[in-house]
Amino acid sequence: MEGAASASTLAASVTTSRPLREYVGMEIRRARFSDAEVEPLLAGLSQEYDTRYGENVEMTRASADEFDPPSGLFIVLMDGPITVGGGGFRRYDATTCEVKRMWTHPLYRRRGLAARVLKALEDAAREAGYTRLILETGPRQPEAEALYARRGYNRTEFYGHYPEARAFSLDLSRL
């Protein structure tokens, strides 16, 4: 796993009491879904889905090429060699993109990093010509729902595979 730190390295190098000012030097990088830096994010997200919802097929519902520019994008948030978060968007229709695979490592949560990643995705989606952003989160992810509400997303009807999902949208033309 060249270029990305393992979970054991991460646990050894991070404490939950790390001051927020130390996160200023983190870097958001554009990445391809197949890049080594994305692997820890996908593994962590898959484990999280399994823990919260049991065995599921969510991770198979989007292909890597859907996140390729110009209609898609994937980013990672790096703390040196450690992948601590990230996410991506893919085309939904001519004016709308969908955010997928948002995740922050548990040891880095509650520090505003997911909001930083989401803001970067919103900005990139607008630059790509999208005027609307949509996303869904599961019913067992209240912290994600709270993040989207704080960022000004509006609840909307579910549109995907899971009727119990919480769907949100953001008008990018108003930002």
DSSP string covering 39-79: HHHHHHHHHHHHHHH-S--GGGSS-GGGGSTTT-EEEEEEE
- Residue 7 backbone phi and psi in degrees, to 5: -60, -40
* 139 DSSP 8-state letter: T
**Pairing between strand 166-171 and 132-137?**
antiparallel
| pLDDT tens-digit series, residues 129-155 | 999 999 998 888 889 999 999 999 999
The per-residue pLDDT for 95 is 97
**CA–CA separation, 7 vs 22, rounded Å?**
20
Question: Does 22-174 carry CATH code 3.40.630.30?
Answer: yes
pTM: 0.82
* Domain boundaries along the sequence of the chain: 22-174
| pLDDT tens-digit series, residues 48-85 | 777 876 776 665 667 889 999 999 999 999 999 999 99
| pLDDT tens-digit series, residues 80-119 | 999 999 999 999 999 999 999 888 999 999 999 999 999 9
* DSSP 3-state percent helix, strand, coil across the chain (nearest 5): 35, 25, 35
The per-residue pLDDT for 58 is 63
**Does the pLDDT at position 6 exceed 50?**
no
